C-alpha cells in the first residue's frame, strides 16, 4: 500500500480545507478487494455487472468531488490573480518613484507584503495542480487494480474520460502560475551573486501549516511515489528526475502542528 500511505501523508500535510477533497483511495481499494473476493458470483453474472456499476458510481462521485473543488479553486485563483495585478499597479502608482505619493518606505513595505502574498498564491496554485495530479494517479492506480483483480476492462475507457475532466485539465492554472512567476520577477529586487545565495540556504526548518510547507511536502511525496515501482508496467511513470535536489534537501519538515 505504498501509494495509499503516501496519499495519506499528503492528505495529512495538505492545507486544512483540502483534507476531505482527496481521493478515498483506501476505501476504493477495499471495495475492489471485496468485489474480487467473491469470484464464484462474478464474471458473466448479474452480480458482476452490479458490482462494476457500483464501483463506477463511486468513482464518478469522486470525480465530481474533484471537479467541484477544482473549479471552485480555479475561480478563486482567477479572481485573486487579477486582484494581485491591480494591487501591484496601485502600489506602484501610489508609492512608487513616479507615483502620486512617492515614498520609499511605504513602497518597500507594501511590496514586501505583495511579495509574500504572491509567493503564497503561486504556491497555492501549484498545490492545486499537485492535488489534481495525485488524484489522477490514484484513480489510475485503482483502475489498474480493479482490472487486474477482476479481469475487467474498465481501465482504458474510463481513464480516457478522466483525462478530459475539468480537474485534470489544469492548463489554466498552470498558465496562471507562469504569469505569477513573471510578475514575481518584476516584484522582487534583483538577485545578488549566486554564491551568496547558496550559502544562505542552510538547513531551514519549515513548520506550520503554510503553503511553503505543503509544497515541500508535495514535492517530497512526489519523489517518493515515483522512486520506483515493483510492478513495472507500461503505465508506470519513471523515477523522478529532480535537478537541484539540494533545494529540497535544504528544507526539512517538522511534524505538523496538530489542529485543535
Partner 1 sequence: MEARPLSIQRSGVRQLNNLGVSGAMSSSLVPVFPTPLDETYPKLPDSQQISMEGEVRARPAAHATVVPSNSGAVGHIFSSSSGFSSDLQYSSVILSPYGKHPRNTPFISQSSTNSAALPIPQSSHSNMPQSTTSSRYTKESSSSWCPESLPGFIDFPTNTSLHNSQLESSSCSGVMSSEDFSKRNDWQDWADQLITDDDALATNWNELLDDNNMTDLEPKMAYQVSKTSAIIPVHQPQVQQQLPAPSGEIRNVVTPSSSANSGPAKPRMRWTPELHEAFVEAVNQLGGSERATPKGVLKLMKVEGLTIYHVKSHLQKYRTARYRPDCLEGSLEKRLTPLEEISSLDLKTGIEITEALRLQMEVQKRLHEQLEIQRNLQLRIEEQGRYLQMMFEKQKSGMDKLKASSPNAVNPSTPSSDAIQDFLAKNEQEGSQLDHGKKETDTVGANSALEGSSQELGNNNQKVPETEAPESCEPNVCETSLQPTKRSRTDK
Asked if 219 and 252 count as a contact pair (C-beta separation under 8 A), the reply is no
Instruction: State how far the Cα of 50 lies from the Cα of 55, in Å rounded to an integer.
Output: 9
According to CB under 8 A, which one of 76, 93, 101, 102 is a site residue for partner 1? 76
Candidate ranges 1-9, 95-103, 132-140; the one touching partner 1 (CB under 8 A):
132-140
Closest CA to 7 of 131, 148, 147: 131
Sign of the dihedral defined by the CA atoms of residues 228, 232, 236, 241, in that order: positive
Q: Which helix (DSSP H) or strand (DSSP E) does residue 252 occupy?
A: strand 251-253
Q: Is the Cβ of residue 96 or residue 155 nearer to partner 1 in the bound state?
A: 155
**Which residue stretch of 1-9, 96-104, 129-137 sits at the interface with partner 1 (rule: CB under 8 A)?**
129-137
Closest approach of partner 1 to the CB of residue 148, in Å:
7
Among 31, 88, 91, 92, binds partner 1 (CB under 8 A): 31
Three-state secondary structure call for residue 196: helix
End-to-end, the C-alpha distance of the chain in Å comes to: 29
For partner 1, the closer of residues 1 and 163 by Cβ is 163
Sites for partner 1 among residues 167-206 (CB under 8 A): 168, 170, 172, 174, 176-177, 181, 184, 188-189, 191, 197, 200-201, 204-206
Task: Provide the minimum distance between the beta carbon of 99 and partner 1 in the complex, in angstroms, as a whole number.
Answer: 20
Angle value at C-alpha 93, between 92 and 95, nearest 5 degrees? 65
Residue among 8, 90, 145, 148 that touches partner 1 (CB under 8 A): 148
Single out the residue of 5, 133, 149, 253 in contact with partner 1 (rule: CB under 8 A): 133
- Give Rg (Cα) of the chain: 23
In the bound state with partner 1, the residue whose beta carbon lies nearer, of 2 and 82, is 82
By rule CB under 8 A, what string of x and - marks binding of each residue 215-254 to partner 1?
xx-xx--x---x-xxxxxxxxxxxxxxx-x--xx-xx--x
For residue 88, the minimal CB distance to partner 1 (Å) is 12
User: What burial letters (b/e) apply to 205-218, b meaning 16+ CB within 10 Å?
Assistant: eeeeeebebbbbbb
Interface of this chain with partner 1, residues 77 to 116, rule: CB under 8 A? 78-83, 87, 108, 112, 115-116
Shortest reach from residue 259's CB to partner 1, in Å? 10
Binder among 2, 54, 93, 102 for partner 1 (CB under 8 A): 54
Can you tell me which of 43, 53, 89, 249 binds partner 1, judged by CB under 8 A? 53
Residue 171 neighbours by CB under 8 Å, 6+ apart: none
Q: Count Cβ atoms below 10 Å from residue 127 Cβ, excluding itself.
A: 19
Q: How far is the CB of 237 from partner 1 (least distance, A)?
A: 6
CB 208 within 8 A of CB 16: no
Q: Which residue intervals of 14-103 are DSSP H helices? A: 25-36, 46-95
Instruction: Choose between 94 and 240: whose C-beta lies nearer to partner 1.
Output: 240
Amino acid at each position: 500500500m505504498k501509494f495509499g500511505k503516501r496519499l495519506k501523508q499528503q492528505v495529512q500535510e495538505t492545507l486544512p480545507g483540502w483534507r476531505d477533497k482527496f481521493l478515498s483511495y483506501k476505501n476504493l481499494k477495499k471495495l475492489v478487494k471485496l468485489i474480487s473476493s467473491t469470484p464464484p458470483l462474478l464474471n458473466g453474472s448479474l452480480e458482476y455487472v452490479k458490482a462494476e456499476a457500483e464501483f463506477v458510481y463511486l468513482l464518478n462521485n469522486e470525480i465530481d468531488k474533484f471537479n467541484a473543488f477544482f473549479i471552485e479553486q480555479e475561480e478563486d485563483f482567477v479572481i485573486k490573480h487579477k486582484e494581485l495585478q491591480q494591487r501591484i499597479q496601485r502600489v506602484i502608482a501610489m508609492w512608487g518613484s513616479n507615483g502620486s505619493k512617492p515614498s520609499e518606505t511605504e513602497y518597500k513595505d507594501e511590496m514586501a507584503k505583495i511579495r509574500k502574498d504572491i509567493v503564497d498564491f503561486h504556491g497555492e496554485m501549484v498545490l492545486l495542480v499537485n492535488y489534481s495530479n495525485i488524484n489522477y494517479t490514484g484513480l489510475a492506480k485503482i483502475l489498474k487494480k480493479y482490472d487486474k483483480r477482476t479481469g475487467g476492462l474498465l481501465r482504458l475507457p474510463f481513464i480516457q474520460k478522466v483525462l478530459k475532466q475539468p480537474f485534470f485539465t489544469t492548463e489554466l492554472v498552470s498558465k496562471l502560475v507562469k504569469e505569477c512567476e513573471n510578475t514575481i520577477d518584476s516584484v522582487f529586487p534583483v538577485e545578488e551573486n549566486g554564491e551568496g545565495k547558496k550559502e544562505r540556504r542552510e538547513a531551514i526548518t519549515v513548520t506550520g501549516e503554510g503553503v511553503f510547507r505543503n509544497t515541500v511536502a508535495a514535492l517530497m511525496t512526489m519523489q517518493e511515489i515515483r522512486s520506483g515501482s515493483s510492478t513495472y508496467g507500461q503505465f508506470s511513470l519513471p523515477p523522478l528526475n529532480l535537478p537541484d535536489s539540494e533545494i529540497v534537501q535544504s528544507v526539512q519538515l517538522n511534524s505538523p502542528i496538530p489542529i485543535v
